[in-house]
Structure 1
Amino acid sequence: MNDLKFALRQLRKSPGFTLVAVLTLALGIGANTAIFSVVEGALLRPLPFPNAERLVRIYEALDENGAGSATLNLSDRTTARFREFGRDIFEDVAGGTGGASVVSARAGSPSQTVPAARVTYNFFDVLGLPPSQGR
């Protein structure tokens, strides 16, 4: 108990040091909490799909012409080849590319940019989910 009283007395004597120490602790705890939240959400929490542990992501660093690929997505041709020749490795193969599309709900109405993805016909079957809208 005497040690605690002594520590508090020393902190009261030097308010600058106390302020720096408290701010350093607050920033450290805040940064640690933020990083843990991101890691937990992105890496530790399982994906919200049935059999998520069986899903893998395959991408290619080079496009069909051997040039560096900026998207890291599989081309339609490569996806079809995986589907055809990878039957003993993969249960099924689906592909998709993400991005944004400019759409207009009606002719003459202002267009909007919305998140969109171009996916293969079996994309939602592989994930085990129905599409929320559409076919």
Structure 2
Amino acid sequence: MMTENTGSDPVEAVEHLHRAEHDLELALEKGREAAREVGEAEDELKKAIHELAHAKQFPLKVIYNGLKKPFEVRPEETVKQLLNQAIGAFGSIPNPHMLSLYNKDGEELPDGETLKQAGVKPHDELLLRPSAVKGGA
């Protein structure tokens, strides 16, 4: 059975009050710190979502008849998409339907692959020239 202490010591009561105020201040500070960390985590999440939605572009150059043109591409774009952009960028080209893109090793890049699958990297220089496959040679 609990007994109620009606005649408690005022000094003890004041000390208890000070400890409670101190504990409350610590808890409030932890709450502010937690809120700050949640805000930082939310900002990081927004940044990651933005990066996923806007996949990183990277620069490369396409060379046709000694002329270089810069392009900004995404790894998930197809070789065919870049090929079409390059043909458009170089203007009037004879037999554009017979052209392909080649890497620095002289290997023809497959139109259906993404730039990533084809091994295209930032700052690569690709060649725009006639394709043996498309030309039937």
- Of structures 1 and 2, the larger Rg is shown by 2
User: In proportion to residue count, which structure has more strand?
Assistant: 2
Q: Which has the higher contact order (CA 8 A, sep 6+)?
A: 2
